Chain A
């Protein structure tokens, strides 16, 4: 397994563990009418920090075990796999963003009912988190596509 494939596995596992927890918490709060913008913000900061704290040392260890530099240039097959995954990931992200925009009316309607005190604020927090979900999901799919290609061409 190349360092880049290990890197993709690390990203997938970290994303699944940390960001599923984050979105689970945000979704549960939003649906129970207890969404708090400050709490969501700090939860995001913590999850982002934990992702980096997990990924950085694990990637360094993976690079040492693979006897490769973390900044070693990708070879042509790795660049091709990266390009294919990026292309699919970007297309998926574009469609998900369209979905977020189309759902904004529903989100605003829900916020008016569940957050009568501050519907605009709740709408903003929910839409930002939907966009964050779209970004995370597209990034996760991109890494999974990379792994699939690495496995198929190994």
Chain B
């Protein structure tokens, strides 16, 4: 399965929010810890709603959490 051309800063943002665990983030956005791990490791692209929920949890604009990298993938 090809990885989606999206990367993210969730690991860094969790670190900056008192080392928030994946489980804590998962509980806040109503997902399983495994889904948060899959998003964080770029194995699963979240829906737009989930992406906004994650950004809202960190109090950051969505563009600071997720990045489109289609050009990199094409290289």
Contacts and interface: CB of A to CB of B under 8 A. Distances in A.
Interface residues on B, range: 10 to 19
Interface of B: 1, 30-32, 34-35, 37-38, 43-44, 46-47, 50
Interface of A is mostly: helix
Contacts of A116: none
Contacts, number: 33
15 contacts: A1-B34, A2-B32, A2-B34, A5-B34, A75-B32, A76-B31, A76-B35, A76-B46, A77-B34, A77-B44, A78-B35, A150-B34, A153-B34, A153-B38, A154-B37
A2 B1 CA distance: 20
Contacts of A76: 31, 35, 46-47, 50
Contacts of B32: 2, 75, 77-78
Given A152-B1, A152-B43, A77 B38 contact: yes
